[in-house]
Amino acid sequence: MSDSLDLPRRGLMFILSSPSGAGKTTIARKLLAAEPDLLSMSVSVTTRPKREGEVEGKDYYFTESEEFDAMVEEDAFLEWAEVFGNKYGTPRAQIMDGLNEGRDFLFDVDWQGAQQLSQRAGDDVVSVFLLPPSIAELDRRLHGRGTDSEEVIQGRMARALDEISHWDAYNYVVINDDIEVCFTKVRDILHSERLRRHRQTGLIEFTRTLKALES
């Protein structure tokens, strides 16, 4: 059997969002493990201090607040936000260069980050929102972690309800009732979006070749 013909294509920005406890981190890890040569995690710039074991350029690009603010002024971020006093931003040049090379990037952001990316990157963005099967199940999952106090859990539940209200801003919505079924659906979305005509940058040249052969 001959090898399949892979035409040049533009990469995509694949956004995964969900309320805490709905499975976003698990699905993201499974996607990265299943697509090691085609999909990589977007690495953010942050003013947060480096934690033990974190690697510069792999976990984050660490910088000072003044330098971060200068990058904001230079419009160097596709999106950025301040969370609990620390700033996080997606570097524009790195992502755009990668997309031009046909590389795909995975983004783990909330609805506000997804909104900023969609506004700034348009057709390069594919957004997926994961929903829990029920609020009761979400509550059970958060309690099942055994790592947070009741006060923290109630705060997460309140934020989850707010995040869920923004589901209709996403391209796709998947209910995570079974982790393997959910993963398969999300990966199918990724594979389908790679085949979108506007991402197939080699199609024009390929069809010209076909016409030349026909004549």
This prediction has a pTM of 0.85
Q: Indicate whether 154 belongs to any domain.
A: yes
What tens-digit pLDDT sequence spans the chain (215 residues)?
345 778 899 999 999 999 888 889 999 999 999 999 999 999 999 999 999 999 999 889 999 999 999 999 999 999 998 887 899 999 999 999 999 999 999 998 889 889 999 999 999 999 999 999 888 888 888 888 777 788 888 888 888 888 999 999 999 999 999 999 999 999 999 999 999 999 999 998 998 888 787 65
Q: Indicate whether 108 belongs to any domain.
A: yes
Q: Which domain holds residue 178?
A: 13-42+103-214
Helix residue ranges, H only, 59-178: 65-73, 92-100, 111-121, 135-144, 150-164
Q: Indicate whether 193 belongs to any domain.
A: yes
- The per-residue pLDDT for range 131-187, each reduced to its tens digit, is 998 888 888 888 887 777 888 888 888 888 889 999 999 999 999 999 999 999 999
- 123: tokens are 């057709």
Domain with residue 124: its CATH number is 3.40.50.300
Q: Indicate whether 79 belongs to any domain.
A: no
Q: Is 21 helix (H, G, I), strand (E, B) or coil?
A: coil
Q: Where on the phi/psi map is residue 61: left (φ > 0), alpha (ψ -120 to 50), or beta?
A: beta
